[in-house]
Amino acid sequence: MPHIRIEQAVEKDIPLILEFIRALGDYERLAHEVVATEELLRASLFGPRPAAETLIAYLNGEPMGFALFFPNYSTFLGRAGIHLEDLYVHPHGRGRGVGKALLLHLARLAHQRGRGRLEWSVLDWNEPSIGFYKSLGAVPMDEWTTFRVEGKALERLAQQAEQSRK
């Protein structure tokens, strides 16, 4: 029977976290968008104001997956929640309970911390993950569309904000 252990990542895990991020980028066909470096992760995850937390899953002592998450807030609930940004399990660890163990750990953390919900996004084409999430009782929020502003568009908006202050 496989032994799964979940640990909070520490600074020495940065190379492993970056490896998982790159593997996730490959899996999601978005490797060209991965610009994270060890230095960026060190500053954003383990600097004076950590932006997120990371869990590492070990299967029989071998690093097999990770989950990166951060707090969000629901005005309707009047409570903080947890947003799961990334969940990844190496292919040879899938179907062995690693992903479920990570989600169960996150659910326990959310409950212990008094969070109102745990939520995440999944790519529309990722049927294996969608089926897995539904099997755990997760419900797709089909009536919501995610918007994003990044890169040059974010810079333009920031410049407009600066100009409007003058």
Q: Which residue has the tokens 């994003």?
A: 148
pLDDT of residue 88: 97
Q: How far is CA 15 from CA 22, 39, 102, in A?
A: 11, 10, 20
Sequential pLDDT tens for the chain (166 residues): 789 999 999 999 999 999 999 999 999 999 999 999 999 999 999 999 999 999 999 999 999 999 999 999 999 999 999 999 999 999 999 999 999 999 999 999 999 999 999 999 999 999 999 999 999 999 999 898 888 899 899 999 999 998 888 7
**Whole-model pTM?**
0.91
Q: Quote the pLDDT of residue 11.
A: 98
Catalytic (active site) residue 133: yes
Q: Which residues pair with 8 in a beta bridge?
A: 55
Q: Which domains does the chain have, with CATH numbers?
A: 4-165 (3.40.630.30)
The active-site residue, picked from 27, 58, 88, 133, is 133
Please tell me the distance from the alpha carbon of residue 77 to that of residue 74, in angstroms, as a whole number: 5
